[in-house]
Structure 1
């Protein structure tokens, strides 16, 4: 079980996800598309391997690719292409005819239809293309197998980087819980009410083994609040508790991104008020002291 990461714009995407979550009010209109029309009802399914946070990353990445296409200055690039038409090496180097999404495909080695090829199919040359052609081309891209492959690779890489950041996981789950708390449950067709507690929030579901192992290894087998060893290698008296960062009573999700490792005392005392809490405490790769 490995990810072969290429890190093409991965950290840029991570920064975009981070910005969205740190400024949810400023981005409210853009975020509405993620949860409108009762889409949030799908978040109730417990512990999906393609987590709710995966879905969020996918939504943000699609928006990022769309913005890139919208910002592509077709007239400027046509002028550059025309001026370099007699110098194939310069065109190959500057690539004025390639859209940003094509660079992503090429970097990951994903076979795809180029904008040039698309234009040829509709009987146009690049010199005659306009913004409407880019729009139509991107609509074809969205539904292609190539884009599905690109999305999987990109979402997996971004998730791999950001899942380690528990404070960001808190921000995301706090955002998601706010959406659920305002949801109109009576509008959801076929809602599985067995997923709900009597209070109307999500019912507690034991995390599956794969989720427990992922969180245990991410948190290095230590309580994230006090650092107590929970591996069983140092002390047999300490037991791990897989705690919801945003409590279920506060509309928290049964999602792997909403779990953290706590010792029993911290779980019982530090979270006794039912608030969302985590820490920025991480084990260093190595000591700076000799």
Structure 2
């Protein structure tokens, strides 16, 4: 049984919905060039182990959050801080975020006070951040990016975004459909050095082994889906129908490159599960209202 400390976390909502929106957009309409680095150097292997609590969605969120942080910390965005409100100091967002999350005691970087460059075209004047400012901010971000504090920050961010996205089955299914394209290519490489890394997870090339769904996954899915079949809405709690039985279904079937991952599972009744079998079907976007 988990302790209370592992069951609760403080949600700071730092760019939560902005990151979630980007995750949803890229899951539903993958930009393979934007996501290329995620799968470099056989990146799909990180997703293969069965039933990781650091789920596929957590990994995807961290990748997107890191890309957003890289974009935000190039010098064009500034966060004000300091005791003197008349002459506040400026820093980059990642510095402020680390302090806000308790991962740093104080701000360790100030944006250089270099006036922007003015560009006049006809009656319009544009102001651009000085190149020296861009360079200084980005170089500092790269240093922060290598720190343990930054890794811990991304873990906290991934947990917060996961919390608001876990109920979005349509996006979860789309994410696993994207990942399945890489999973289906695993195992076709004949090099022994490569095969030893993933063989224990595969039933055959391109298909993950079926393993028992752990209790923690069953509980997470059961309560997320409120004890009801996500397709037909049948009550599976046993409170009103003693013949009900829950089935924990892979939204992207294992035979089609699906993963043994908590974010690839939905709750179905026996009838809906049997009719689905190993076929691909869109997950339901229907949810019961709160009140």
Tell me if TM exceeds 0.5: yes
Conserved? CA contact 1:46–1:255, under 8 Å: yes
Aligned-pair CA distance for 1:111:
1.5
Matches of 1:73 and 1:227, distance apart in 2: 49
**Corresponding residue for residue 248 of structure 1:** 254
Residues 221 and 266 in structure 2, CA contact (< 8 A), matched pair in contact too: yes
Following the alignment from structure 2 to structure 1, what is the Cα–Cα distance between the partners of residues 272 and 239? 20
Residue in structure 1 matched with residue 125 of structure 2 by the alignment? none
- What aligned pairs does 1:115-134 form with structure 2 within 5 A after superposition? 115-116=108-109, 126-127=113-114, 130-134=133-137
1:151-185, Cα deviation, whole Å (9 max, x unpaired): 12111000011011001111101111012223464
Q: Which residue of 2 aligns with 1:174?
A: 177
* Equivalent residue, structure 1, for 2:87: 91
CA distance in 1, matches of 2:207, 2:145: 35
The answer to whether the 8 A contact 2:99-2:106 is kept is no
CA contact (8 A) 1:5 1:157 kept: yes
| Maintained 8 Å contact 1:47/1:256 | yes
Residues 1:113 and 1:141: Cα distance change in structure 2 (over 3 Å): farther
Specify which structure has the higher proportion of strand: 2
Structure 2 equivalent of residue 108 of structure 1: 101
**TM-score (ref. length: structure 1):** 0.83
Contact (CA 8 Å) 1:224, 1:260: kept in 2 or not? yes
User: C-alpha displacement at 1:140, in angstroms?
Assistant: 1.6
Counterparts of 1:146-157 in structure 2, within 5 Å, are 146-157=149-160
Q: CA deviation at 1:231?
A: 1.1
Residues 21 and 172 in structure 1, CA contact (< 8 A), matched pair in contact too: yes
Q: 1 CA distance for matches of 2:73 and 2:187?
A: 35
Aligned to 1:122: none
Gaps (5+ residues) in structure 2?
1-6, 116-131
Q: Distance in 1 between matches of 2:206 and 2:181?
A: 14
Measure the CA separation in 1 of the matches of 2:212 and 2:187: 26
1:199 offset after TM fit, Å? 5.7
Aligned partner (choices 201, 219, 224) of residue 195 of structure 1: 201
Unaligned runs of 5+ residues in structure 1 are 82-86, 120-124
How far apart are residue 224 of structure 1 and its match?
Answer: 0.3
Higher relative helix content: 1
Q: Which residue of structure 2 aligns with residue 223 of structure 1?
A: 229
Q: SS in structure 2 opposite 1:37? A: coil
Which residue does 1:84 correspond to in 2? Answer: none
Query: Per-residue deviation at 1:276?
Result: 3.5
| TM-score (ref. length: structure 2) | 0.83
